[in-house]
Amino acid sequence: MKSLVGLLGYPLGHSISPVFQQAAFDFYSLNTTYQAWPTPPDVLRSKVASLRNDQYLGANITVPHKERIQDMVDIMDPEAEKIGAVNTIVNNRGSLEGYNTDSQGFVIPLKKLVRFDFKGKRVLLVGAGGAARAAVFALAGEPIQSLTISNRTHVKATKLTDIVKHLVPEVSHTGIESMEFTKAVSNADLIVNSTSIGMSGTEDPMLSPIPTSWIPPNSLVYDMVYNPPITPLLSEALRAGASILGGLPMLVQQGALAFEKWTQLEAPIDLMSKVAEEALSKTLN
Ligand code: NAP
């Protein structure tokens, strides 16, 4: 029987998830179609309920539904519950299971692609939204020394640090226009951008949250934004002589983990990455 799986979000724009997920299903010659399901908030509940039908494997969830959808699934995975967001639904014979693969999707490229050694490292996380929350739980599971969370809306950074203050030896928070922020940048071994600053399609896609002169040359700068592949922040980091990691490996990795939950098969990650890169370069042309 033909099965369906798809991406629930609104609006969806030019998402590349359908392309690289379909490549994985085709790799195994599975009779499954991955679709884009632009779903406005008012019809979300009925769309999620329809996923209990046995033709559906489940769904990926993206902005703005990741938090609200927690109330619409039957079983929450403990990791997703802790993070407070669901990005993957699995339809297990009519019972909807909610997972979060963003956290592992964030940390696996750091370990496998750039072999970052977390031990004793000072980490600066810019942003305190949903992506930051997934990153914070992943970072708290590593042997880092300190974590500073900096956000435009300072109170959100404060709330996020409260959640992990017992999990990391040193935890602090700042705004993004303070002396403390400049200091946190210059002390960091790993700088992570989890804001949408520099993302294509935003009001000012040429903006970087941090200028070149503040970035330590021996740091790693990780931008979760994947469109464009080299964001303004990554350009500044390269100019500073720092190492860089873009957001595409995270996007593919969280998708690969979702694929494995739907199919119980090992995701063909190299193929998915190659297809994702090609699809992204087409959206740039
Ligand atoms: P979100 O929950 O809406 O959070 C947005 C964050 O960006 C907040 O911290 C917000 O600060 C900050 N921000 C937005 N515009 C800003 C500006 N002009 N100046 C300063 N701060 C600004 O969104 P999200 O889900 O966390 O996603 C954030 C980014 O991560 C997006 O670009 C998304 O594409 C990317 N992402 C990538 C992946 C991946 O797989 N690579 C996965 C998830 C997300 P305030 O709190 O002050 O509003």
pLDDT, block means (10 residues), the chain with 285 residues: 96 92 98 97 98 98 95 97 96 98 98 98 96 95 98 95 95 95 97 95 89 97 96 98 98 98 98 97 82
Q: What is the pLDDT of residue 13?
A: 81
Neighbours of 272 (CB within 10 A): 24
Q: How far is CA 230 from the centre of its chain?
A: 17
Bridge-based pairing state of the strands 220-223 and 243-245: parallel
- Residue 195 in contact with ligand 1 by CB distance below 6 A: yes
CA distance 273 to 265: 17
- Residue 252 in contact with ligand 1 by CB distance below 6 A: no
Q: What is the pLDDT of residue 126?
A: 98
Q: What is the pLDDT of residue 1?
A: 84
Ligand 1: atom nearest CA of 176 is: 20
Q: What is the pLDDT of residue 3?
A: 98
Rg for the chain, CA atoms, rounded:
19
Q: What is the pLDDT of residue 285?
A: 63
- Whole-model pTM: value is 0.96
Q: What is the pLDDT of residue 209?
A: 95
- Residue 197 in contact with ligand 1 by CB distance below 6 A: yes
Handedness of CA 159, 164, 165, 169 (dihedral sign): negative
Q: What is the pLDDT of residue 275?
A: 98
Q: What is the pLDDT of residue 179?
A: 94
